[in-house]
Structure 1
Amino acid sequence: MSAYDEGHTVAGWTGTAIATVGSCVLGLGICTTSVLAVTGGTAVLVAAVLVTWVLHLAGWGKPPGVRPVGEWRMRERDGSARAGHPGCVGCRLAGRGRRAGSASAPAVAAEVAPERV
């Protein structure tokens, strides 16, 4: 069994289920050349992304990386979601995690070559 336990969350499974339906509708629309089905399938896929993001921010998704075995249950809410997960794009888009004023990397002084005469 993997130590990372990625994707075993309510947010992950809900988003996957909605995206599967959207992909089926989109594929059906492509095969039948139906603009309505293609548009509907695309809308369902966008909804899957938004639902997954909202559930993640509500604590039903977990951060990437190694977690203790006690937090591997799917219905275990993530208490650190409100503060934002380090390195999480979804949390950053919501304004959580690192703030704009924090230094992410130390400034490196540019080396200037001596002038030749």
Structure 2
Amino acid sequence: MSATPTPTTAPAFSRNNPFRSHLQENRRLNQQGSSKDTRHIVIQLGSSGPTYQCGDSLGVVPRNPESLIREFTEKLGLHDDAVLHETLATSAVLNRVGKKFVKAVAEKATGSAKDNLQA
């Protein structure tokens, strides 16, 4: 009795199993001064990635660069634990910090970091 090998299938990419890629091109298509912002986007799919067909949708989930996260936590004197790191990587706009975010961080900060945030 011999076992018949089962063929391997490509993974199904979905919201719960996203295909991670890098942005190759991001070009604005509208004329300068237009109130619309329509873009031509090129992403790297590679040979193992999904194939794109007309009508497919694309979700863009940006991540802050590691260097920006490190600089942010170091300047504020924050301990960069895993939860904070993931939050800063995926849920925070670090290049345009709003008052609400600074207030929330200040509430958790201690010592000189708290003083710097409240200044």
> What is the TM-score normalised by the length of structure 2?
0.24
Structure scoring higher RCO (CA < 8 A, sep ≥ 6) equals 1
Decide which structure has greater strand share. Answer: 2
